[in-house]
A and B are shown apart, each in its own frame.
Chain A
Amino acid sequence: MKLLKISENLGQFLDANGDYSPIDKIGKDDLLRLVDRTLHDDEVELDAYDDQAIKNQAHQVIYKSVFQKLSDLRKRRQEFIDESARLFLDEYERYRT
């Protein structure tokens, strides 16, 4: 699923309803959701930042920052999965039974 997309010279993000909203409307909860999906979804796409493709200056600033954050996070996905699987693993196994 594409989380960030550049369309019609605007930066857009996948909102809670599954639609694409302009990136300057992004809020805290949207960010959290995008972070979750970046780490958990098997298939994630992000349109690379391109200052030529985005004309709106405000969109450029926001899109660039969010894109960088999410793509960095995506690169660490396996590390995250491994690390979280091991969280309190001994205790988890011990108390589960």
Chain B
Amino acid sequence: MKKIDLHIHTVSTISDRAFTFSLDTFKRYVIDAKLDAVAVTNHDVFDGAQFRKIQQELSATVFPGIEINVESGHVLVIGRPSELDDFESKTTLVSQRITKIGDKIAVEDLIKIFGNLQNYLVIPHYDKGPSIAGETLEKLRPYISAGEVDSAKKFVRNIRDQSKLTPVLFSDSRMRVDLTALPTRQTFVDCGTLTLEALKSCLQDKAKVALSERDGNKLWQVFDNGQKLSTGLNVVLGTRSTGKTYTLNQISETIKSVKYIRQFSLVQQDEAGEFKNSVELRRSAFVDQYLAGLKRVLDDVMTVDLVASDRATSGYADTLLRSAEEADRRDAFSNATLFDEVEFPIENTKTLQDLIGSIRQLIENVEYRPIIEKHVELAALKQLALELINLLRAKILDVQKKQVVNELVKEIKRGLAFRTSAVQVQDVDFYAMAMDRKRVARFSEIIGFLKKEAVIFQETLQGFKVEAKKHPYAGAGEIKAASGTKLAFSDAFRKYDNAYSYLRELMQNENLPPADIYKLFVKISYRVLNKDGHEVSGGERSEFRLLQEIADAQNYDLLLIDEPESSFDNLFLKGEVNQILKAISETMPVVVVTHNNTVGASVGADYLLYTTKEVENGVPRYRIFSGYPTDKKLVAVDGEVIASHETLLNSLEAGADTYEKRRQGYEAIKDQ
């Protein structure tokens, strides 16, 4: 097996964070990581002079390459070391096209530049961002040798899925002068010679790529000293203070996307209030989405002022009656027709616009076109749309004309009113007023629906059920809590039964952000129920949190759990926890630190790691011995071994003697 890393940066470009290249670092990496082949792949640039120097100095095969920004993501194009001049001239064309952030090259242009891309190793970012997908991937597909991934989890996932490209895991690292921990992401290929052709042919066959040299995809390297982990379930054992938590911390620093459930973190939030908050927080997006409609309604209703429109009606009635009383005292100004002229009503064209939108949707819909055309002719729909659009245009023109006239009327009325003592009738828009009242009525209905008690969200998690329920607020205190302010809400709450009055009262409070008012109409509360449908107890809350955390782990590349036994009893550990850990380890690497024999011995680990601490001359030396559960011996990276049987009994059963005594004790009380 050959170990390769074909994604390495040596030039700081506009797409990188600034770094200083060090050939010594590169050399150290190749030697310490025992690499057989590497590729230099800088962003949109190939530095021929630097490459030749690197090639001279490194013991491994060095391929010339480039990482190019194409339409939707990045792609590695790797050439033959024997055709450097040609590669250099082609990549110069790439550099000329990509000069600033955001520049990219179309696949067609890439083909124009490189000619037949089959002469190169083409490896797109695949299960790694920014990934190449969709149409761009399809255009590149005939030339692609493998797809780059960025974690062991994704590597295994792509290996297993026959429809996916052969995955390759590369470091994508910068050979910086200050690089301390060496990269651990490489791929092993079952390849005789390391030529471009041989690599291309190897990558055609998923069976010829692996995460480890001898253990296929069961193990992958996690630390730069060569320490490996299983791609399944790892159990870390060891006596107190031997560096188990330290090991987990180190893993979480080395791997980018890690879900780390720290020791006691599940019991710390056992308090009912905190627990509730965390349950609510995780689901706040759902509630926001649920109430988004109310927000839209409120944005509109908050502009409605029924008191003002009432005043306008009174003003109209009063001035009309007064002007009638004075009808015989009119002068030349007040006798002018325009003196009491009313403005043109302005028609709302939204209905028509919506209608045109709907017809347009019918015309443009591709998915259901056969059904649509079965019932309505497309030509007829187009005619209909055309007629409605013409009508809309006419209406809009009419509205514009009326608006001009209205402005004119207003101005003339003002001018006439200045010159006469006669009362001018104050105009009122009865249509707008009636519509506002409708708006308020509909709003009140909606709030009425919202206040009806009902479950609006349900989620099940391994027997637990999370339920979000809506119901009316029971008092001002609850509203205050929901507002997250220290304001008083007793006056507002007195009007709670009348949605519009309540809204106006809330709006009067200047310290209450209008954008938060939507939260104060209906209370949403959560319950977590156990298998029997009862609210969870303290212990069950911890269990629920664990399950929730583990469910969340699916979004990460690795799950670390530090001593789950610190939060649970053995029954729960043996039943649910072990089962869930085993299940999730089928899809991603899991590392569990434990002292507990229920977890350690019964979980069905794929790989064991045993930590030790030895003090030599006052300096502690931490070491990890590892192996498969069936191995008689556990081995450290330096080759030292310890006996598995004794080690397991010592760390899980407090030694062979204790284990034997305990076994005899159980034996003695067993029913005969």
Residues of A within 8 A of B (CB): 24, 26-28, 31-32, 35-36, 39, 57-62, 65-66, 68-70, 72-73, 76, 79-80, 82-84, 86-88, 90-92, 94-96
CB-based contact A66/B320 at 8 Å = yes
Cβ of A58: which chain B residues have Cβ within 8 Å of it? 324-325, 327
CB-based contact A83/B435 at 8 Å = yes
9 contacts between A and B (CB under 8 A): A24-B321, A28-B314, A60-B324, A68-B342, A76-B345, A80-B431, A87-B438, A88-B296, A88-B300
| Cβ proximity bits B523-550 to A, threshold 8 Å, 1 near / 0 not | 0000000000000000000000000000
| Shortest Cβ distance from residue B550 to the other chain A in the assembled complex, whole angstroms | 33
Which chain B residues (286-309) contact chain A, with CB distance < 8 Å?
293-294, 296-297, 300
CB-based contact B348/A79 at 8 Å = yes
Contact of B345 among A27, A61, A72, A86 (CB under 8 A): A72
Cβ of B342: which chain A residues have Cβ within 8 Å of it? 65, 68-69, 72
The complex places the Cα of A32 from the Cα of B310 at a distance, in Å, of: 9
Is B580 interfacial (CB 8 A cutoff)? no
CB-based contact A95/B450 at 8 Å = yes
Interface of chain B: mostly helix, strand, loop or mixed: helix
The complex places the Cα of A2 from the Cα of B300 at a distance, in Å, of: 35
| Shortest Cβ distance from residue B97 to the other chain A in the assembled complex, whole angstroms | 47
Chain B interface category by residue count: 35 or more
CB-based contact A92/B317 at 8 Å = no
Residue of A nearest to B447 (CB): A95
Given contacts A61-B320, A79-B347, A88-B300, contact A95 B449 (CB under 8 A): yes
Cβ of A66: which chain B residues have Cβ within 8 Å of it? 320
Chain A CB within 10 Å — which of B313, B430, B438 has the most? B430
CB-based contact A91/B446 at 8 Å = yes
Cβ of A73: which chain B residues have Cβ within 8 Å of it? 430-431, 434
**Other 6 A-B pairs with CB < 8 A, given A24-B321, A36-B434, A61-B340:** A65-B425, A87-B438, A88-B297, A91-B293, A91-B296, A95-B294
Which chain B residues (388-427) contact chain A, with CB distance < 8 Å?
425
The complex places the Cα of A88 from the Cα of B445 at a distance, in Å, of: 11
The complex places the Cα of A63 from the Cα of B573 at a distance, in Å, of: 86
Cβ of B434: which chain A residues have Cβ within 8 Å of it? 35-36, 39, 73, 80
Cβ of A87: which chain B residues have Cβ within 8 Å of it? 438-439, 442
Which chain B residues (310-332) contact chain A, with CB distance < 8 Å?
310, 313-314, 316-317, 320-321, 323-325, 327-328
Cβ of A61: which chain B residues have Cβ within 8 Å of it? 320, 323-324, 327, 340
Cβ of A57: which chain B residues have Cβ within 8 Å of it? 324, 327-328
CB-based contact B445/A92 at 8 Å = yes
CB-based contact A27/B317 at 8 Å = yes
Residue of B nearest to A95 (CB): B449
Cβ of B333: which chain A residues have Cβ within 8 Å of it? none
| Shortest Cβ distance from residue A44 to the other chain B in the assembled complex, whole angstroms | 14
Residue of B nearest to A40 (CB): B434
CB-based contact B310/A28 at 8 Å = yes
Residue of A nearest to B448 (CB): A95
The complex places the Cα of A39 from the Cα of B428 at a distance, in Å, of: 16
Residue of B nearest to A86 (CB): B351
CB-based contact A95/B293 at 8 Å = yes
The complex places the Cα of A62 from the Cα of B425 at a distance, in Å, of: 10
CB-based contact B340/A28 at 8 Å = no
Given contacts A80-B435, A95-B293, contact A31 B316 (CB under 8 A): yes
Is B433 interfacial (CB 8 A cutoff)? yes
Is B502 interfacial (CB 8 A cutoff)? no
| Shortest Cβ distance from residue A60 to the other chain B in the assembled complex, whole angstroms | 7
Is B350 interfacial (CB 8 A cutoff)? yes
Contact of A94 among B293, B328, B439 (CB under 8 A): B293
The complex places the Cα of A88 from the Cα of B435 at a distance, in Å, of: 12
The complex places the Cα of A28 from the Cα of B320 at a distance, in Å, of: 11
Contact of A91 among B297, B313, B431 (CB under 8 A): B297
Cβ of B314: which chain A residues have Cβ within 8 Å of it? 28
The complex places the Cα of A92 from the Cα of B293 at a distance, in Å, of: 9
CB-based contact A83/B348 at 8 Å = yes
CB-based contact B323/A90 at 8 Å = no
CB-based contact B348/A92 at 8 Å = no
Is B443 interfacial (CB 8 A cutoff)? yes
Contact of A69 among B300, B325, B430 (CB under 8 A): B430
